[in-house]
C-alpha cells in the first residue's frame, strides 16, 4: 500500500500568501486539512502526495473570506452556497444587516420572511417552501446548520431584527421603545447565540431596509440605550458587531456606535459607501480613523465597485416596469413579452405613456444607465450611457433602452450604478480600498437575487484593481485585505493565509485568464424562485480544508464545508 507524505501538494505556483508579502514561487503542502509546509518540496512523480496539482504559471492564494453575505435561508436547504463558492470564496459570514431567521417563534415566521424578502430581495415563496423551521432559538438554528455539509464554510451572526421581534412581539415590529427588561432579555439572547457559536451581533439603521409590505425594519429607530445595552451584554462573551446606518445625524449616530464598542470591548464594522449627493461618507471615514487611532476597534466595510442594480425583463426592475402598457404584459412568460414588445405598435404605445410623464425613479436616469456587456463592464465610461449613445444616434434614450431590453431574447441586463460611482468613475472606491481602516465587504451573496449580483466583488478586486486598472492596487495588498484581514476582523484567525498551521482553504488562479461572465437569471430556488447567478473563468482549483471542491469551475462533488462555531485560531 502506497505511503504518502502529504494529502495534497500544489507545486510550482506563484504564492500570494495573504500577509502582504511579495509573490514568490513555492510549493504548498497540505496534510489533515492544514497547510504543513510552503517552500521547495517534493521532486518528481507525485511529490509524495495523494493529489498533485501543477500550478506553474498560476497564482496560489488563500480562499477569499467574505464577511458580508445573506445565505441565512439558502444554507438551510442548499449544500452549495453559489454564486460565492464559484468565485474563489471559501468562507462566508451571514446574518448581516440585522436580518435572519432565528430566534423565531412559529407565529413570527411570516414576519421574518417579509423582512428578509423586503430587505434582501429574496422571494417569499422560496423562503416559505425552503425553510424547514426546525428551530425556535438561535442555538437550535446553529444546530440545524451544523448537521449539514456545504461546498464552503459558513458562519452566522445574531440578527437584531429577529431578536427584537422575538422579545417584543408586535411592539418590536412597530419600532416602539424597548424597556429595561426587554433590553436585558435581548442581550441575553445575543449572549446565548455567541456562546453557541455565533460570530457576533448585527443591526440595521437605514430607511433602505423595508419589509415586503413597505414597513421600515424593526431596528430602524432602536434607541441608543437599546443598542448600547445589548452590546454591553456582549462584554466578556466575545463576538463582533456589524452595523448599517443612514447616518442622517452623523455626530449622534457615530457617538452611539462608539459607545457600543466602548461598553462591549468588541470590534465593529460599519457599511461605508460613497454618494455623489451626500458628502457624509468622507466624514464617516474620518471618524472611523479617529476612533481607530484612539484604540477603538472600528472598521468600515466597502464594496470593490459601484453598488448598483441590474435592470431587465428578467430582473425585478426594468426601465419601463411602472408603465401601464408594460404592466399589462408583466406576468407573461419572457418569450411572450419579447414577442409583444417586438410589435412596433406596442412600442409606440408604451413610449407614448412615457412621453406623457410616466413614473419617476430610474426612468429619469438614462445618463446613469449602461448596457452591462460581455464581459461585464463595472466602470463604464459616461460617454457609453444609454443617454449618450442615444444622443449620438439621434434617438431618444427611452427608445434605445427599450431595444436593449429585448436584445438576446430579453435576457440582457442594463447596469445602473447607485453608490461609489462618483463623477463617472470608481476613483472613490480605489481611495477607500487603500484605507487601512476599511475592509472589502458588502457583496451580499445570497441576497438581492432579482436586482443585484455582487457576490463577485472579490473577483473584481483581483481583475479590475490588481490587474486591469491603470491606477490599481498591488496584488499582495488586495489578497491580504480580502483574505487575512477580513478573516481576522470576525475572529476567524485560522484562515486567510498560505502558511504552515493555517486551514488549507486555497485557490489556484489563472490570473491572466480570470474574467467574470455576465450575470444570468436562474429559476432554481424553492417554488421555482428566480435568482441572479454569476460565474467566472480562470479559477482552476478551489480547496476547502485541503479537499478540492471545484476544478475549472465545475463541482467535484466533495462537500467539506461546515458551520464554523465561534472564533478560530491557528493550530
Q: With residue 521 as reference, give the H or E element that holds it.
A: strand 520-522
The cell for 75 is: 444554507
Measured over the CA atoms of residue 107, residue 113, residue 118 and residue 124, the dihedral's sign is negative
Q: State how beta strands 554-555 and 506-509 pair.
A: unpaired
Q: Cell numbers 462573551 label which residue?
A: 237
The pLDDT value given to residue 210: 78
pLDDT at 278: 77
Rounded CA separation 485/555 (Å): 28
Each residue's pLDDT tens digit in the chain (571 positions)?
467 889 999 999 999 999 999 999 999 999 999 999 999 986 555 668 999 999 999 999 999 999 999 999 999 999 999 999 999 999 999 999 999 999 999 999 999 998 888 877 888 899 999 999 999 999 999 999 999 999 999 999 999 999 999 999 999 999 999 999 999 999 999 999 999 999 999 999 988 877 777 788 899 999 999 999 999 999 999 999 999 999 999 999 999 999 999 999 999 999 999 988 777 888 999 999 999 999 999 999 999 999 999 999 999 999 999 899 999 999 999 999 999 999 999 999 999 998 765 555 555 689 999 999 999 999 999 999 999 999 999 999 999 999 999 999 999 999 999 999 999 999 999 999 999 999 999 999 998 889 999 999 999 999 999 999 999 999 999 999 999 999 999 999 999 999 999 999 999 999 999 999 999 999 999 999 999 999 999 999 999 999 999 999 999 999 999 999 999 999 7
What is each CA distance from 337 to 210, 355, 386, 396, 406, in whole angstroms? 30, 21, 22, 22, 9
C-alpha span between 165 and 270 (Å, rounded): 23
CA angle 564/201/227 to nearest 5° reads 170
Cell numbers for 499: 502558511
Per DSSP, 358 falls in state -
- Return the half-sphere exposure (C-beta side, CA atoms, 13 A cut-off) of residue 101: 31
Question: Is the four-CA dihedral 122, 126, 132, 133 of positive or negative sign?
Answer: positive
The upper half-sphere exposure of residue 138, i.e. CA atoms within 13 Å in the direction of its Cβ, equals: 32
- Parallel, antiparallel, or unpaired for β 438-440 and 298-302? parallel
> Residue 5 belongs to what H/E stretch?
none
Of 247, 239, 230, 235, give the one whose Cα is nearest residue 178.
230
Determine the Cα–Cα distance for residues 71 and 69; give it in Å rounded to an integer.
6
Look up cell 439603521; give the residue: 205
User: Do 492 and 267 touch, CB atoms closer than 8 A?
Assistant: no
How many other C-beta atoms are found inside a 10 Å radius of the C-beta of residue 555?
17
Provide, for the chain, the percentages of residues in helix, strand and coil under a 3-state DSSP scheme, each rounded to the nearest 5: 35, 20, 45
Q: Measured on CA atoms in the order 317, 320, 323, 325, is the torsion positive or negative?
A: negative
Q: Tell me the three state secondary structure of residue 571.
A: coil
**Cα 131 to Cα 514: distance, rounded to the nearest angstrom:** 35
The pLDDT of residue 363 is 56
422 grid coordinates:
462618483
Q: What does the alpha-carbon distance between residue 546 and residue 553 come to, in Å, rounded to a whole number?
A: 17
Strand pairing category for 268-271 and 298-302:
parallel
Report the residue count for the chain: 571
- Under 8 Å CB-to-CB from 564, ≥6 apart: which residues? 91, 153, 154, 155, 197, 199, 492
> Chain-centre distance of CA 28, in angstroms?
29
Q: How many CB atoms lie within 10 A of CB 302?
A: 26
Residue 98 to residue 41: CA distance in whole angstroms: 47
Query: 10 Å Cβ neighbour count for 113?
Result: 23
Q: How many CB atoms sit inside 10 A of residue 377's CB?
A: 14
Domains of the chain: 64-306+429-514 (3.20.20.140), 313-419 (no CATH)
In angstroms, the CA 149 to CA 560 distance is 7
- Cell representation of residue 266: 468588541
Distance CA 294, CA 408 (A): 55
Angle among Cα 81, 316, 419 to the nearest 5 degrees reads 80
145, 156 in Cβ contact below 8 A?
A: yes
What CA–CA distances, in Å, run from 523 to 85, 131, 449? Answer: 18, 17, 11
The Cα–Cα gap between 470 and 465 comes to: 8
* φ and ψ of 420, to 5 deg: 80, -10
DSSP string, 23-85: PEEEEEEEETTEEEEEES---STTTTEEEEEE-TTSEEEEPEEE--B--TTHHHH-S--TTGG
Supply the pLDDT for residue 43.
57
Distance CA 458, CA 190 (A): 30
Residue 565 cell numbers, joined: 462555531
Provide the grid cell at 258: 462608539
Burial environment of residue 321 by CB neighbours within 10 A (0 to 12, 13 to 18, 19 or more): middle
pLDDT of residue 541: 98
Model pLDDT, residue 409: 96
Torsional sign, CA 418, 422, 427, 430: negative
* Residue 61: strand pairing partners: 507
pLDDT of residue 400: 96
Residue 1: the pLDDT is 45
pLDDT at 362: 56
The three-state (H, E, C) secondary structure of 119-187, written as one string: HHCCCHHHHHHHCCCCCCCHHHHHHHHHCCCECCEEECCEEHHHHHHHHHCHHHHCCCCCCHHHHHHHH
Contact between 483 and 30 under an 8 Å Cβ cutoff? The reply is: no
Amino acid at each position: 500500500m502506497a505511503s504518502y507524505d502529504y494529502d495534497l501538494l500544489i507545486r510550482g505556483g506563484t504564492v500570494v500568501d495573504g500577509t502582504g508579502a511579495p509573490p514568490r514561487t513555492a510549493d504548498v503542502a497540505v496534510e489533515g486539512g492544514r497547510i504543513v509546509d510552503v517552500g521547495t518540496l517534493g521532486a518528481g512523480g507525485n511529490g509524495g502526495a495523494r493529489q498533485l496539482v501543477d500550478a506553474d504559471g498560476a497564482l496560489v492564494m488563500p480562499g477569499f473570506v467574505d464577511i458580508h453575505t445573506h445565505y441565512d435561508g439558502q444554507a438551510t436547504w442548499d449544500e452549495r452556497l453559489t454564486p460565492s463558492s464559484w468565485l474563489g470564496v471559501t468562507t462566508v459570514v451571514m446574518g448581516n444587516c440585522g436580518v435572519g431567521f432565528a430566534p423565531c417563534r412559529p407565529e413570527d415566521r411570516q414576519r421574518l420572511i417579509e423582512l428578509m424578502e423586503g430587505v434582501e430581495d429574496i422571494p417569499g415563496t422560496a423562503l416559505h417552501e425552503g425553510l424547514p423551521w426546525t428551530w425556535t432559538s438561535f442555538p437550535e438554528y446553529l444546530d440545524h446548520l451544523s448537521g449539514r455539509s456545504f461546498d464552503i464554510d459558513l458562519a452566522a451572526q445574531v440578527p437584531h431584527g429577529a431578536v427584537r421581534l422575538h422579545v417584543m412581539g408586535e411592539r418590536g415590529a412597530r419600532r416602539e421603545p424597548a424597556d429595561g427588561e426587554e433590553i436585558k432579555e435581548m442581550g441575553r439572547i445575543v449572549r446565548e447565540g455567541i456562546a453557541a457559536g455565533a460570530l457576533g451581533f448585527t443591526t440595521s439603521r437605514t430607511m433602505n431596509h423595508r419589509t415586503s409590505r413597505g414597513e421600515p425594519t424593526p431596528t430602524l429607530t432602536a434607541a441608543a440605550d437599546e443598542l448600547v445595552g445589548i452590546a454591553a451584554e456582549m462584554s466578556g462573551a466575545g463576538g463582533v458587531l456589524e452595523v448599517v446606518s443612514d447616518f442622517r445625524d452623523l455626530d449622534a449616530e457615530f457617538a452611539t456606535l462608539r459607545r457600543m464598542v466602548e461598553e462591549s470591548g468588541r470590534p465593529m464594522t460599519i457599511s461605508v459607501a460613497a454618494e455623489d449627493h451626500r458628502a457624509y461618507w468622507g466624514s464617516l471615514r474620518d471618524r472611523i480613523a479617529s476612533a481607530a487611532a484612539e484604540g477603538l476597534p472600528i472598521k468600515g466595510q466597502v464594496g470593490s465597485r459601484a453598488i448598483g442594480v441590474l435592470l431587465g425583463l428578467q430582473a425585478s426592475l426594468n426601465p419601463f416596469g411602472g408603465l401601464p402598457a408594460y404592466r399589462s404584459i408583466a406576468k407573461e412568460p419572457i418569450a411572450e413579452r419579447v414577442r409583444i414588445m417586438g410589435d412596433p405598435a406596442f412600442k409606440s404605445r408604451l413610449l407614448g405613456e412615457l412621453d406623457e410623464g410616466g413614473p419617476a425613479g430610474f426612468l429619469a436616469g438614462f445618463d446613469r444607465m449602461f448596457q452591462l456587456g460581455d464581459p461585464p463592464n463595472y466602470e463604464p465610461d459616461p460617454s457609453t450611457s444609454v443617454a449618450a449613445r442615444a444622443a449620438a444616434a439621434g434617438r431618444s434614450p427611452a427608445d434605445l433602452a427599450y431595444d436593449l431590453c429585448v436584445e438576446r431574447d430579453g435576457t440582457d441586463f442594463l447596469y445602473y450604478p447607485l453608490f461609489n460611482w462618483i463623477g463617472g468613475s470608481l476613483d472613490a472606491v480605489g481611495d477607500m480600498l487603500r484605507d487601512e481602516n476599511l475592509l472589502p465587504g458588502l457583496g451580499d451573496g445570497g441576497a438581492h437575487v432579482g436586482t443585484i449580483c455582487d457576490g463577485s466583488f472579490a473577483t473584481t478586486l483581483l481583475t479590475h484593481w490588481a490587474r486591469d486598472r491603470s491606477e490599481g492596487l498591488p496584488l499582495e495588498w488586495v489578497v491580504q485585505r480580502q483574505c487575512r484581514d477580513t478573516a481576522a476582523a470576525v475572529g476567524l484567525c485560522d484562515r486567510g493565509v498560505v502558511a504552515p498551521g493555517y486551514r488549507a482553504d486555497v485557490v489556484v488562479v489563472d490570473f491572466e485568464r480570470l474574467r467574470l461572465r455576465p450575470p444570468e437569471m436562474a429559476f432554481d430556488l424553492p417554488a421555482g424562485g428566480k435568482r441572479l447567478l454569476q460565474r467566472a473563468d480562470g479559477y482552476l482549483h478551489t480547496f476547502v480544508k485541503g479537499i478540492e471542491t471545484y476544478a475549472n469551475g465545475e463541482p467535484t462533488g466533495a462537500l467539506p464545508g461546515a458551520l464554523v462555531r465561534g472564533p478560530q485560531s491557528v493550530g
